[in-house]
Amino acid sequence: MKVKICGITNIEDAQLCENLGADALGFIFHKKSKRFIRPETAGKIISKLSPFTLKVGVFVNGTPEEINKTAKEIKLNVVQLHGEEIPDMISEINLPVIKSFRIKDGFDFSILKKFETLRFLFDTYSEKEYGGTGKTFNWELIPGELRNKIILSGGISINNIEEVYKKVKPVAVDLSSSLESAPGKKDKEKVKEFFNKINNLKP
């Protein structure tokens, strides 16, 4: 199970997560997010990271032109779309795409068929925020055939990672707020504790 740590805003947190074993780091370019980072700042951080760590840019309802320009300038590896993006626009993006879906009771999973070539991330639905809620959704809603193919987000923490690993079995997990001391600032001890826990998980 891969681990993506999102909401990176500074080099100290980026290097801490990378050194402890994060497979991917996420940089949020949505200005209304509490974890927003300017692309030029993210670029400076990315330039100091290992080439083997995936750098993911999180965008909300941006244009393909804006996304491609940012991705090229700061050397992103993957684009994560967290808004109401449609399949036609995604084909114009030059990098691999993760498409986020915010899940709630009654979510229509047939929508995913329109995005078949992408990797899916499932997050918790909120009327106020596009992500980073720190809250879980009902994992029982996830169809069995999708569980080992998705990235799971939304309220994942050291307290439930074992349950995630054994019951949902996603290909990756995406964490942010549960490892913070404040929005945009990681808590060193929480990050260490989480990676220690995940490295010792057993089926």
Helix (H) or strand (E) holding 17: helix 11-20
Which pLDDT tens digit goes with each residue over 147-187?
A: 999 999 999 999 999 999 999 999 999 999 999 999 999 99
Does CATH number 2.60.120.380 belong to domain 2-199? no
Check if 123 is active-site: yes
Quick one: which of 198, 132, 125 has its CA closest to 166?
A: 198
User: Residue 69: pLDDT above 80?
Assistant: yes
Look up the pTM and report it: 0.94
Catalytic residue among 13, 17, 123, 174, which?
123
Confidence of residue 130 (pLDDT cuts 50, 70, 90): low
Catalytic residue among 6, 13, 17, 174, which?
6
The CA distance from 25 to 13, in Å, is: 10
Give me the residue spans of the domains in the chain.
Answer: 2-199
CA atoms within 13 A on the CB side of 155: 12
How far is C-alpha 120 from the chain's CA centre? 10
